[in-house]
Amino acid sequence: MCGAPDQAVALPPGTDLTKETVLTGRVVAEGHPVGGAFVRLLDGTGEFTAEVVASAQGDFRFFAAPGTWTLRALSRSGNGEAVVKAEGPGLHATELAVA
């Protein structure tokens, strides 16, 4: 995936990236981070799976499973979505643009 979201948001202690499939990313508008966006994770059928509020720096994170996911953000700066394909466990980073 493009972009290199800040991984400063520490994973919980004991997170085993050889087993867990972690989707991380940053919400951006015109290249600038958007804090406080509502980011939801939709599964391969478009079904809602989870929702988080992005940090002040726009960072978000989900513990998912291998597969194809859609990330969708709602914010005061606009809405947007991105598809992420996680082929296996590990950290999968995405830049999620809103407009």
| Rounded Cα–Cα distance for residues 99 and 96 (Å) | 10
**The only residue of 4, 10, 47, 88 in contact with other proteins, by rule CB under 8 A:** 47
Residue 43: other Cβ atoms inside 10 A:
15
Q: Does 46 bind other proteins (CB under 8 A)?
A: no
Angle subtended at Cα 8 by Cα 52 and Cα 21, rounded to the nearest 5 degrees: 55
Nearer to other proteins among residue 49 and residue 95 (C-beta): 49
Q: Does 14 bind other proteins (CB under 8 A)?
A: yes
In the complex, the residues that contact other proteins under the rule CB under 8 A are: 12, 14-16, 19-20, 23, 36, 38, 40-41, 43, 45, 47-53, 61-65, 74-76
